[in-house]
């Protein structure tokens, strides 16, 4: 995920060594497979294609790759047939006279055709251009096997000879990717999904999750390659229904739980490339979701060791969150600890934040009942107080919607989160979403699968199964129609060229928070 940059240099973090040790104890061994490309393709401009480009098989045969030698400015594009996460290697030789200069190569790794079609030099977006998956390499000696040390996420690899010399060409053979994931697709239980469209959506959700499950649950293997709490919550839910890998969730819980700020606040994300480092970015709802992830984990595994270790961290987090609520029971958002809800900052988030607080409080009380019954009653009273405030002060009975902020704004996020928090009765929830469908559908202005997930889940939770299925098909199904091998970080069905970053080449096209249809399908539609 991405967000307005926060910089908080004055924050200090705890490092609970006992808990940090458990993050190490719960490292998973990565699975590796070897994948070869299946085709040679051309990347063609096409305005009707996602981001304006498509890949088209060309007349060259992948079996004869070594025959298509390249000189200065020569290019070819390998198609690995599906989304891959791993290390790339290839044999390179010279053809012709002896190699009288270095070989200068440019390699571009692309999840989608547009990342090759669009010139990387044109990128002027606000996210670091260092994320563009390209390498410039000089090789002094051929033949060689080029083994790139970095991990890439890609389906296509463009190989461009920036220069050889007039006396020889470069020839390529035996390209492979050695894939990496904490899990194996074979581990997913087979379930019968009769609807072929949903079946395909389920498969691609699982592939998306698979490719994001690395040494931690990453948000995206292309970018940002790190552990975000909001993504983790959804990934863990999808994981329980599919790979059901316990250790990786446990490790991630300990990572967040071992390094809150000295005040007890949990970072929105952790960098885990080397020694884990909590980011100086804080989001109110993401901090709270630590409790959600712990609750969902405990529901699945009844792991009392983890609960014993992390309940005090969860309680501290909850207490910090409660400080943002006024005496009436109303959340008063603090710009230093903003409520995320969605990328868009074009809607008021106060009521959605209130709902998320209630949603998490309810989960916390369940944990308290297991762990410290004396807490349960106290926090239960707060649920009632905040719910009561919401029902009385935030719900406009005349209009049939929750309103948000001083301008009494009616937006989809407030309704969705109030449904998920079950602040109203089931009947009222159903009516609320009936009203919501009339007012907000087809949804526009929302670019994240993260928000779409919560809309879909609210439909299922409010007895709108048909509309929930339709939303999944309209959103995730549309990505598949547009060629998705894995689900994307950002997608606006009404704007195929949308990027939150000013250029689609920096987008992540395998992104954790889009993996949830498998969870929704397997939770709400499959009788296991």
Asked if 141 interacts with a second copy (CB under 8 A), we say: yes
Looking at the Cβ atoms of 140 and 192, the one nearer to a second copy is: 140
Would you call 52 exposed, middle or buried from its count of C-beta atoms within 10 A (0-12, 13-18, 19+)?
Answer: middle
Least gap, CB of 215 to a second copy (angstroms): 13
Residue 9 near a second copy by CB under 8 A: yes
d(CA 183, CA 189): 13
Q: Which of 75, 87, 162, 369 contacts a second copy by CB under 8 A? A: 162
Determine which residue in the list 29, 59, 150, 407 makes contact with a second copy, applying CB under 8 A: 150
- Per the rule left: phi > 0, alpha: psi between -120 and 50, beta: everything else, 14 is beta
| Contact yes or no for 285/230 (Cβ under 8 A) | yes
Which token pair is 252?
């991630």
Q: Which of 39, 280, 366, 463 binds a second copy (CB under 8 A)?
A: 280
- 3 near a second copy, rule: CB under 8 A: no
137 and 108 Cβ atoms separated by less than 8 Å: no
Cβ distance to a second copy smaller for residue 150 or 194: 150
Instruction: Specify the residue, 124 or 335, whose C-beta has the smaller distance to a second copy.
Output: 124
Does residue 489 sit in helix, strand or coil?
Answer: coil
Q: Does 15 bind a second copy (CB under 8 A)?
A: no
Options 15, 32, 61, 138; binder of a second copy; rule CB under 8 A: 138
Q: Output DSSP code: residue 391.
A: I
- C-beta of 280: minimal distance to a second copy in Å? 5
Helical packing angle, 246-258 and 284-301, nearest 10°: 140
Helix (H) / strand (E) element for 478: namely: helix 478-481
Q: What is the DSSP string of 131-147?
A: GS-EEEEEESSSSEEEE
| 14 is a site residue for a second copy (CB under 8 A) | no
Stretch that binds a second copy, among 37-45, 199-207, 268-276, 368-376 (CB under 8 A): 268-276
Work out how close the CB of 520 gets to a second copy at its nearest, in angstroms, rounded to a whole number: 30
By CB under 8 A, which span of 58-66, 186-194, 257-265, 274-282 interacts with a second copy? 274-282
Burial of 385 (0-12, 13-18, 19+ CB in 10 A): middle
Q: Using CB under 8 A, pick the residue from 135, 203, 303, 409 that binds a second copy.
A: 135
Instruction: Pick the piece of the chain touching a second copy (CB under 8 A) from 14-22, 234-242, 272-280, 409-417.
Output: 272-280
528 binds a second copy (CB under 8 A): no
Q: Does 119 bind a second copy (CB under 8 A)?
A: no
Examine residue 93 and tell whether it contacts a second copy (CB under 8 A).
no
Tell me if 333 contacts a second copy by CB under 8 A. no
Residue 259 Cβ vs a second copy, minimum distance, rounded to whole Å: 12
Backbone angles phi, psi at 128, to 5 degrees: -55, 130
Vertex 261 angle, CA 305 and 323, to 5°? 95
Candidates 34, 61, 126, 426: give the one binding a second copy (CB under 8 A).
Answer: 126
Nearer to a second copy by C-beta: 44 or 137?
Answer: 137
Rule CB under 8 A: say whether 5 interacts with a second copy. yes
User: What's the closest the beta carbon of residue 187 comes to a second copy, in angstroms?
Assistant: 28
Shortest reach from residue 134's CB to a second copy, in Å: 8
Binding pattern for the stretch 186-225 against a second copy, x by CB under 8 A and - elsewhere? -------------------------------------xx-
- Map the footprint of a second copy across residues 45-74, applying CB under 8 A: 72
Q: What is the DSSP letter of 326?
A: -
Q: Which is nearer to a second copy, 256 or 476 (CB)?
A: 256
Q: Which of 16, 191, 200, 271 binds a second copy (CB under 8 A)?
A: 271
Find the binder of a second copy among 131, 343, 401, 475 (CB under 8 A).
Answer: 131
Residues 6+ positions from 381 with CB-CB distance below 8 Å: none
> From CA 189, how far away is CA 212, in angstroms rounded?
19
* 368 to 27, 240, 288, 326, 349: CA distances (angstroms): 28, 22, 15, 23, 28
Piece of 159-167, 171-179, 469-477, 516-524 that binds a second copy (CB under 8 A): 159-167
Judge if the upstream peptide bond of residue 143 is cis by omega within 30 degrees of 0: yes
Runs of H (alpha helix) within 16-79: 17-25
Using CB under 8 A as the binding rule, whether residue 98 contacts a second copy is answered as: yes
31 pairs with which residues across the strands?
Answer: 181
* Dihedral sign of CA atoms 84, 234, 237, 203 in order: negative
Per CB under 8 A, 381 contacts a second copy: no
Pairing of strands 75-96, 39-45: antiparallel
Closest distance between a second copy and the C-beta of residue 127, in Å?
7
CA 235, 241, 242, 246: dihedral to nearest 10 degrees? Answer: 70
Q: Which is nearest to 266 in space by CA: 214, 197, 316? A: 316
Per-residue HEC secondary structure of 159-179 comes to EEEEECECCEEEEEEEEEEEE
Question: Applying CB under 8 A, what is the total number of residues that bind a second copy?
Answer: 42
- Among all chains, which residue has been given the structure tokens 């059901």? 244
Q: C-beta of 164: minimal distance to a second copy in Å?
A: 7
Residue among 50, 101, 67 nearest 479 (CA): 50
Residue 262 sits at the vertex; the CA angle it makes with 261 and 264, to the nearest 5 degrees, is: 65
Task: Please identify which residue in 60, 101, 300, 431 interacts with a second copy, judged by CB under 8 A.
Answer: 101
Among 164, 462, 486, 514, indicate the residue that binds a second copy (CB under 8 A). 164
Which residues make up the interface to a second copy (CB under 8 A)? Answer: 5, 7-9, 72, 96-104, 126-131, 135-136, 138, 140-141, 150, 162-167, 223-224, 226, 271, 273-274, 277-280
């Amino acid at each position: 995920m991405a967000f307005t940059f926060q910089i908080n240099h004055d924050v200090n973090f705890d490092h609970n060594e006992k808990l940090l040790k458990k993050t190490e104890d719960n490292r998973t061994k990565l699975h590796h497979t070897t994948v070869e490309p299946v085709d040679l393709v051309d990347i063609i401009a096409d305005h009707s294609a996602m981001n304006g480009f498509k890949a088209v098989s060309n007349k060259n045969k992948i079996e004869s790759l070594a025959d298509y030698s390249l000189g200065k400015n020569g290019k070819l594009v390998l198609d690995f047939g599906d989304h891959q996460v791993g290390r790339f290697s290839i044999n390179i030789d010279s053809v012709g006279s002896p190699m009288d200069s270095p070989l200068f190569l440019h390699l571009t790794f692309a999840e989608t055709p547009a990342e090759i079609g669009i010139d990387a030099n044109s990128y002027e977006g606000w996210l670091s251009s260092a994320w563009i998956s390209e390498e410039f390499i000089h090789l002094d000696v051929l033949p060689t096997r080029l083994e790139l040390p970095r991990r890439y996420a890609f389906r296509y690899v463009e190989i461009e000879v920036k220069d050889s010399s007039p006396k020889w060409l470069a020839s390529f053979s035996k390209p492979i990717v050695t894939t990496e994931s904490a899990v194996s697709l074979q581990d997913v239980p087979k379930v019968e999904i009769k609807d072929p469209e949903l079946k395909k959506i389920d498969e691609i959700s699982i592939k998306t999750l698979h490719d994001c499950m690395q040494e931690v649950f990453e948000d995206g293997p292309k970018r940002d390659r790190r552990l975000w709490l909001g993504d983790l919550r959804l990934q863990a839910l999808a994981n329980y229904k599919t790979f059901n890998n316990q250790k990786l969730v446990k490790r991630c819980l300990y990572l967040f739980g071992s390094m809150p700020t000295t005040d007890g606040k949990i970072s929105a994300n952790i960098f885990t490339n080397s020694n884990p480092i909590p980011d100086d970015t804080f989001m109110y709802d993401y901090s709270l979701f630590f409790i959600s992830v712990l609750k969902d984990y405990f529901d699945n595994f009844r792991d009392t060791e983890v609960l014993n270790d992390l309940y005090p961290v969860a309680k501290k987090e909850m207490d910090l969150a409660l400080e943002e609520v006024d005496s009436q029971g109303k959340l008063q958002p603090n710009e230093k600890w903003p409520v995320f809800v969605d990328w868009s900052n074009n809607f008021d988030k106060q009521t959605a934040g209130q709902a998320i607080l209630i949603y998490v409080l309810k989960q916390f009380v369940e944990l308290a009942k297991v762990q410290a019954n004396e807490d349960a009653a106290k926090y239960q009273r707060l649920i009632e107080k905040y719910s009561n405030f919401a029902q009385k002060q935030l719900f406009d009975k005349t209009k049939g919607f929750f309103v948000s902020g001083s301008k009494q704004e009616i937006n989809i996020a407030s309704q969705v989160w109030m449904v998920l928090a079950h602040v109203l009765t089931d009947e009222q929830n159903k009516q609320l979403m009936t009203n919501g469908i009339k007012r907000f559908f087809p949804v526009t202005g929302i670019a994240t699968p993260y928000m779409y997930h919560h809309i879909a889940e609210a439909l299922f939770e409010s007895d709108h199964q048909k509309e929930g299925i339709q939303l999944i098909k309209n959103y995730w199904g549309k990505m598949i129609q547009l060629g998705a091998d894995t689900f994307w970080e950002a997608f606006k069905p009404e704007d195929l060229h949308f990027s939150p970053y000013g250029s689609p080449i920096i987008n992540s096209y395998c992104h954790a928070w889009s993996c949830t249809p498998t969870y929704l399908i397997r939770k709400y539609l499959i009788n296991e």
